[in-house]
Structure 1
């Protein structure tokens, strides 16, 4: 990594520094006003630059949002991958804890990618590709779980022919169903926790997360 940095020209290094600073200010804006309140002109003013000058580093608001979403998904994918490596392979429990730790570390980053979609924004293919990496890691873990002897559900049968979202993963329908169950229930818990909906209810959200995870694994 250091060699790659050294290979850059001073102009390239300066450009990278400015883009990084712009993204830092963008995250600050998102923390206070949400992604819909993101303004390049406001960032330029805070950095002592003119709007046109800043547009030399980001062509527009959509490019900046894409960079932030790409960084967020990449961070989540790396956290899940690191968890799988530490566990000697994809492990559902380890992945769930890695996801929660990642979400708690930066709730605004979490909500940018797993909260309400940014109006009018469409992620480019490389960004959706990173999101697919995350799901593929979870599918690997669910496919490795012991298979149930219970008969398949109607939703299992539905998934046998509605699996485009799995991006070609060979997991059987029951594993696809398990992955979706983990994904939806754990994200539901995290979204409620991070939005503060458990505040004042008198229980430990971490223990609720563990209980839900145990219930999912027991199935």
Structure 2
């Protein structure tokens, strides 16, 4: 998704500096993790004073929020583009893996361990819900509305806030949640290097999980 163009030289300069700050933030996260993010350290790298940098981001949490918004927006746009091209659940699974492997730090910022003391604002949750909506669409495609057939489906049918206003039937809710948890489980272990000493290619495990979920 392209960023809106700033309309004045000052606005363009401000947008450019904010993007540079975010680039340095990603570098810092890759080195020391999001919990160690320091605006003063970024300011020093950029040859700015701390107070000058705070004119662009009011604090650490505002900067983290900007990074999280960018990450969720990137994945939401990736999923939407694939869906518009006719992607099914298998295609979305592989799109998720490609997106995660392209930038593991971005993946871990939104799907890894929460940053201590940070709470994301509601608008980031709304962007994340766009991602789930595409998955629910794929899980619902071709399905006839059904009634809960298991204790889990009954529970999900009664506790479906995570699905937003999507009209997915209980079986599709279960399928979407299974897709999300099983594939993120494999991805998280792979990106953390937990399969390294096991001497197998995790793409085969991921593909098998994706096929299993896609078959329902």
Q: Under TM normalisation by the shorter chain, which class is it?
A: over 0.9
Task: Give distance in 2, aligned partners of 1:12 and 1:146.
Answer: 48
Aligned to 1:123: 120
Task: Give distance in 1, aligned partners of 2:139 and 2:215.
Answer: 13
Task: Give distance in 2, aligned partners of 1:16 and 1:186.
Answer: 35
* Superposition RMSD in Å: 2.0
Q: Which ranges in structure 2 are unaligned for 5 or more consecutive residues?
A: none
Once the two structures are TM-superposed, the CA of residue 217 in structure 1 deviates from its matched residue by: 2.3
Tell me which stretches of 4 or more aligned residues in structure 1 moved more than 3 Å.
Answer: 145-151
Change (3 A) 1:128 1:148: closer
Aligned to 2:36: 37
CA deviations over 1:129-156 (Å, ceiling 9, x no partner):
0000000110111011546999811101
Q: What are the within-5 Å matches in structure 2 for residues 36-75 of structure 1? A: 36-75=35-74
Q: Which one of 164, 173, 176 corresponds to residue 167 of structure 1?
A: 164
Is 1:178 equivalent to 2:170 in the alignment? no
Aligned to 2:108: 111
Counterpart of 2:114 in 1: which secondary structure?
A: coil
Give me the TM-score of the superposition, normalised by structure 2: 0.94
Is 1:97 equivalent to 2:94 in the alignment? yes
Task: Give distance in 2, aligned partners of 1:124 and 1:150.
Answer: 34
Give me the TM-score of the superposition, normalised by structure 1: 0.93
Once the two structures are TM-superposed, the CA of residue 120 in structure 1 deviates from its matched residue by: 1.8
Aligned to 1:19: 18
CA deviations over 1:184-210 (Å, ceiling 9, x no partner):
000000000000111121111111111
Q: Which one of 196, 209, 214 corresponds to residue 211 of structure 2?
A: 214
